[in-house]
Amino acid sequence: MTPPPAPGAALEARIDALVAGLDLERKVRLLTGASAWTTHDEPAAGLRAMVLSDGPAGVRGQVEDDRSTSANLPCPTALAATWDESLVERLGRLLAAEARRKHADVLLAPTVNLQRTPLGGRHFECLSEDPLLSGRIGAAYVAGVQAGGVAATAKHYVANDSETDRFTVDVRVDECTLRELYLAPFERLVQDGGAWLVMAAYNGVNGATMTESPLLADPLKGEWGFDGVVVSDWSATRSTEASARAALDLVMPGPHGPWGGELVAAVRDGRVPEAAVDDKVRRLLRLAARVGALEGADPAAAAPDRPVPSAPGTPPAPEEAAGLLRAAAAAGSVLVRNQAGTLPLAADGLRRVAVLGPNAAVARAQGGGSVRVTPDYAVSPLDGLRTALTPLGVEVTHALGARVGAGVEPLTAAQASDPDTGEPGVRLRLLDERGEVLRSERRASGRLRWSWDGLPRRAATVEVAARLRATADGAHGLGVVGVGHFRLVAGGAVLVDEDLLPESDDVGAASLTPGRRGGRLPLRAGEEVEVTVRYRPDPAAPAARMTLGVQAPALPDDQELDHAAAVARDADAAVVVIGTTDEIESEGFDRASLALPGRQDELVRRVAAANPRTVVVVNSGGPVELPWRDQVPAILLCWFGGQELGNALADVLLGRVEPGGRLPTTWGARERDVPVLEARPVGGRLRYGEGIHVGYRAWARAGAAPAYPFGHGLGYTTWSYEQVTAPATVPVGEDLGARVRLRNRGRRTGREVVQAYLSRRSSAVERPAVWLAGFAVVQAEPGETVTAEVRVAARAFQHWSVAAHRWETEPGGFELTAGRSVADRLLATHVTVVASQLQG
């Protein structure tokens, strides 16, 4: 990957002149956002405002609104599970096109914190547990986004690897571990991907909160030569002087913040050097030049009108985007178990397929938090399989079987109509203090959000009215979610009338852990009922958000299980879709347990007992316990697969596409076996006491076997690994080219991720038992032999020397192994690193 060129000398000279032409107030004004998602303009410098938008699984834009939908990618863990840099780069180009469509200049993505503990709330939003894999996939993501002229942001710098007390936690981590693990992906994104922004995290590291941390100056800006903008995480900046003197450049969101007039005064008093302010402004103007926001400067990448993914720098048409997202979801799906060729299912032998489970009929396409977008659409597993199987004459049956989470689902346009017009959807009215209607409009769903900028001024009450149509007999759950006063009336009955408070004190609690209340209403199938909710947002909250939701009547739990087992028994094959939701895996809090919620384990056991051809599909962002895993014939992990989830799943289950994914993170059998689990700080501190032994490195050190090891994943063909060759010696500081020969022994064309690992028996420095050193993707026809060229970068042989504060290479012998996963290393060779004569 070639990083984008550095800005030319002429542009740098012009930026210097522009900075020199601005007085202190004007310069400082630029360094805090103008709003939640925009920066200030400065007409005198030819600078327009820039728009920042969240990611990484889509580009939300400035509003979260059902009228402004976004292409929803598989969650980042699923992207890393592809191990496919060129695919991820193409997805980055799609994101750039989406950003342009939404008038965004900066995408606040990717998230390259490491999956240190499977309990981490944003596990699904991170790429992997390995710094090399995260660095390479993350750099490809950045390269793709920026090739489209949109800036990418490496976040959250650094050690923001869990969510508990994320605003205040002080992560205690030694220098070597920081360098070799947590900083490593950021280094790759800056140096190989050429990221134009880095986001300073909420947490602290070794005593300094990240917006004031010396790590911003070094290694980021100094040693790595980062010439872009360090933006704060939203509301992460808590000081004037300390953050301004540290290398933070831009405070978000705006317009209020701790810089502004305070910073002007601090500069005037000599507490912050004006040169520090100038440097920040220079970086902001450089970013503006890159994204085309600075008059007269050529943007770093031309903004094309209607590009195709195959043509660099071009946005795809909707059908091309759908195809790309479908292929990506399949490429990231990991088949962890497949006994006796259960998969792929041969459609011609099937008459009826039962698609069961709580995640079958609802598309759980994404995790929760700032990553969320309103997807263009989302194909559920049930819909995807119905679309694929019905034309083949295969009947698809369904039962819920078990519930995941107790929550109500947002009301959809299919379930309700606007009482004013009779059209599908709900009626939204904004009322002022006197009850006068300020705005009235139809909306498609009961999920309503007014971002960090809050509601239109003067709106005191949000009113949502809908005619709900019951589709089944029984008690319907109706509920509201949000922070503020809620009054919910349905069919004349008052179900809620109270103040709802957030359930945590996180900075984003109003959106991440809102209050929830509801009640039940008995209805008959076909009956219609008027539902109205009046919501008075908390004026102190930074955002206004509410959900009006409904829960269809369900049988008592035991009967649901019996029913699902009966439906499974009557089918030729059963697909059970289990997992979590965006309320279980979310930004803002860590998971309390790795167990599947509700009675899902029981559901799998009952279905597998009823139908020997049972395929379990695990629809979660991170690892969950699968206690029955050896008693079912096939298990496929489909992650939070994005809007094409159901179609991709059908492609994989029916063998139209191979499940291409390999685990980017270890799946332990039992939570209590996981070597690095703790995410709760003690006395405000979270000690990374395991040092460099995280993920598979920790399992290897503990000598324990997980359920599914890092790198594991089956395809639909089989491979024999024949030979690994590498030069016997490699000079210190040089890359190594290894070659792995393998043969496709099966009857299908296949794709394989060839992984190379290093280990070293005796060493003067502490090392992991084994570490990923390189990987390459190959494809081969049945019977074909291919050679994977695996580049092992010089860094893979290096360690961080705390004494010397630099990377060093210990000469001597390393074992290079190659194989299908960290636990299935089939070939080995020996490489000796030799000190070159030039080494001092």
What are the catalytic residues?
233
Beta carbon nearer to ligand BGC, 155 or 280: 155
Rule CB under 6 A: which of 232-261 touch ligand BGC? 233-234
**What's the burial of 437, exposed, middle or buried (CB within 10 Å: 0-12/13-18/19+)?**
exposed
Exposure letters 14-37 (e unless 16+ CB within 10 A, then b):
bbeebbeebeeeebbbbbbbbbbb
Rule CB under 6 A: which of 767-786 touch ligand BGC? none
**Interface pattern 146-185 for ligand BGC (x via CB under 6 A):** ---------xx-----------------------------
Q: Could you tell me how many residues of this chain bind ligand BGC (CB under 6 A)?
A: 8
**616 part of the interface to ligand BGC, by CB under 6 A:** no
Interatomic CA distance for residues 359 and 627, integer angstroms: 19
Beta carbon nearer to ligand BGC, 35 or 829: 35
User: What's 216's DSSP letter?
Assistant: I
Rule CB under 6 A: which of 196-235 touch ligand BGC? 233-234
Beta carbon nearer to ligand BGC, 54 or 383: 54
**What's the burial of 783, exposed, middle or buried (CB within 10 Å: 0-12/13-18/19+)?**
exposed
Beta carbon nearer to ligand BGC, 332 or 508: 508
In degrees, rounded to 5, the angle at the alpha carbon of residue 652 between the alpha carbons of residues 137 and 567 is 130
Structure token pair of residue 32: 């805090």
Interface residue with ligand BGC, options 108, 169, 181, 603 (CB under 6 A): 108
Shortest Cβ 54–ligand BGC spacing (Å):
5
Shortest Cβ 113–ligand BGC spacing (Å):
10
CA atoms within 13 A on the CB side of 189: 36
CA atoms within 13 A on the CB side of 774: 21
**752 part of the interface to ligand BGC, by CB under 6 A:** no
CA atoms within 13 A on the CB side of 722: 11
Q: Kindly report the number of other CB atoms within 10 A of residue 144's CB atom.
A: 27
Structure token pair of residue 207: 């005593």
Q: Any bridge partners for residue 157, and if so which?
A: 200
Residue nearest to ligand BGC as judged by C-beta position: 370
Shortest Cβ 410–ligand BGC spacing (Å):
20
Beta carbon nearer to ligand BGC, 106 or 350: 106
Specify the long-range contacts of residues 696-701, CB closer than 8 Å, at least 24 apart: 696/129, 696/130, 696/666, 696/770, 696/822, 697/768, 697/769, 697/770, 697/771, 699/666, 699/668, 699/675, 700/768, 700/769, 700/770, 700/822, 701/675, 701/768, 701/769
Interface residue with ligand BGC, options 54, 170, 249, 582 (CB under 6 A): 54
Per-residue CA distances from 260 to 43, 228, 264, 282 (Å): 19, 21, 7, 17
- What residues contact 683, with CB distance under 8 A and at least 6 apart? none
Shortest Cβ 234–ligand BGC spacing (Å):
4
Which has the closest alpha carbon to 710: 808, 819, 621? 819
Shortest Cβ 156–ligand BGC spacing (Å):
6
Beta carbon nearer to ligand BGC, 252 or 360: 252
**370 part of the interface to ligand BGC, by CB under 6 A:** yes
Structure token pair of residue 463: 């009113």
Beta carbon nearer to ligand BGC, 370 or 665: 370
Shortest Cβ 259–ligand BGC spacing (Å):
18
Rule CB under 6 A: which of 410-429 touch ligand BGC? none
Which has the closest alpha carbon to 553: 471, 490, 475, 470? 475
Shortest Cβ 369–ligand BGC spacing (Å):
7
Q: Kindly report the number of other CB atoms within 10 A of residue 278's CB atom.
A: 16
Shortest Cβ 372–ligand BGC spacing (Å):
10
**508 part of the interface to ligand BGC, by CB under 6 A:** yes
Beta carbon nearer to ligand BGC, 42 or 161: 161
Residues that bind ligand BGC (CB under 6 A): 54, 108, 155-156, 233-234, 370, 508
